[in-house]
Amino acid sequence: MGQRILTINAGSSSVKFALYTSGETPDCLAQGLVQGIGSTPSFKFKSGGPTETKLIDAGDQTQALEVILAEITPLLDGQDVAGVGHRIVHGGPLRATPTELTQDVLADLATFNPLAPLHQPHNLSAVDAAKEAFPYALQIGCFDTAFHRNHPWENDIYAIPRKYYQQGVKRYGFHGLSYDYVSHQLVRDHPELHGKRIIMCHLGSGASICAVNNGVSISSSMGFSPLDGIPMSTRSGHLDPGILLYLMETEGMTANELTHMLYYESGLLGLSGISHDMQVLEASDEQGAKDAVEYFVYRVRREIGAMAATLSGIDALVFCGGIGENSPNIRLQIIDRLGFLGIEPDVEANARNATLISKGATPVFVMPTDEEQVIANAVAKALVPAH
């Protein structure tokens, strides 16, 4: 005992981390975030007291990890980092459980880089940096796609020639670590919902909706890549594929140009022409901002209706993620027209970000998610010798 577990969640311009005790139920000792990598990097760090924020020098994820290590070293108190857990966005068609990140596994995971270009390459570069920093630590990958690996066949396949399904062109779903945490917390806090039909809305820079029945993911708004479903900060969400054919033919756009547009120039940013940040859009009087918010709300509401049909009903609705947890206005606009699902907003409770924000037959909850805890738990389990 006394060893430490480190979790790393690396994105295109940020690295989230948390330091835990080892043991059956890891306790968080510290957590933080390096953001703005490559532009104006800053470091947020919390260990017991108030959150500290400072500007740093970090041009890439490796340099960001060096900053993180320098800050957490005093907290190790002479103990070794026995395991490092990594959020890996895409695990491919087979991986449904946390996996040791051997070189063979990493080589396989790199083949999914084109399917999650905002995340996967950075996830894997963080693994390389962590292996260099902690050569004797167990490196464990936890996959955002794993939670969705038991979808019914009809919720996974696309209506294109079936040979592509055999090649792995299918609906994968993402945000699985978040949904895993929230679904377990919900049943723990509300045992009457055990075995029930839950719709979860992870609304943040990336956003998706998930339908869960009896603790198992049945359907996700995200599909083959993290582009599908509802609009996000800079990602398009659902598109008619004919649009891409049209842009290729009339604008002469290449695959790289389409990729850049769909991942970096679309979503709230593309719709508003102002910002990708929901807080900025909510505070703006510009018509473009209002249009972007209205479209986002409409698409979320529409997806909730689709998930309710998939589940043949709904027993609870849950909001999580940055927007889901912190924007009473967006939540109210979404649920205010879901009375046909037995949902009646509690306006006062919603305004103060209460856990329960409804008073109708179908409860609506706001629950903070904790992907890092899911990763730490997986590493702790992997560190226990098999008997």
Average pLDDT (328-350) is: 98
Residues in the chain: 387
Average pLDDT (356-380) is: 96
Q: Which of 57, 60, 108, 144 is catalytic?
A: 144
Say whether pLDDT at 306 is over 80: yes
Say whether pLDDT at 231 is over 50: yes
| Three-state DSSP class for residue 115 | helix
Domain 4-143 has CATH 3.30.420.40: yes
Instruction: Please tell me the distance from the alpha carbon of residue 322 to that of residue 301, in angstroms, as a whole number.
Output: 18
- For residue 213, what is the enclosing H or E element? strand 207-213
Percent of the chain topping pLDDT 70: 99
For the chain, give the mean pLDDT.
Answer: 94
End-to-end CA distance of the chain: 18
pLDDT value, residue 1:
47
pLDDT value, residue 64:
87
pLDDT value, residue 387:
39
Residue 317 CB burial class (10 angstroms; 0-12, 13-18, ≥19): buried
Q: 252: which 2 tokens?
A: 């002469």
Q: Strand 138-143 vs strand 81-88: parallel, antiparallel, or unpaired? A: parallel
Domain 176-366 has CATH 3.30.70.20: no
Instruction: Please tell me the distance from the alpha carbon of residue 360 to that of residue 366, in angstroms, as a whole number.
Output: 15
Which has more pLDDT, 68 or 250?
250
CB 22 within 8 A of CB 385: no
Say whether pLDDT at 38 is over 80: no
Q: Which residue has the tokens 């029945």?
A: 213
Instruction: Please tell me the distance from the alpha carbon of residue 238 to that of residue 298, in angstroms, as a whole number.
Output: 13
Confidence of residue 39 (pLDDT cuts 50, 70, 90): confident
pLDDT value, residue 117:
87
User: How confident is the model over 55-90, as pLDDT tens digits?
Assistant: 888 888 788 888 888 888 888 888 899 999 999 999
Say whether pLDDT at 386 is over 60: no
CB 7 within 8 A of CB 1: no
Q: Give me the numbers of helices (H) and strands (E) for the chain, helices first please.
A: 14, 13
Average pLDDT (167-174) is: 93
Average pLDDT (119-145) is: 93
104 in catalytic set: no
CB 168 within 8 A of CB 218: no
Spans of all domains in the chain: 4-143, 176-366
Say whether pLDDT at 206 is over 60: yes
Say whether pLDDT at 4 is over 60: yes
Say whether pLDDT at 145 is over 80: yes
CA distance to 92, 221, 302, 314, 333, per residue, from 306 (Å): 25, 9, 6, 11, 18
pLDDT value, residue 78:
81
Q: 160: which 2 tokens?
A: 């294109």
Average pLDDT (36-44) is: 85
pLDDT value, residue 71:
85
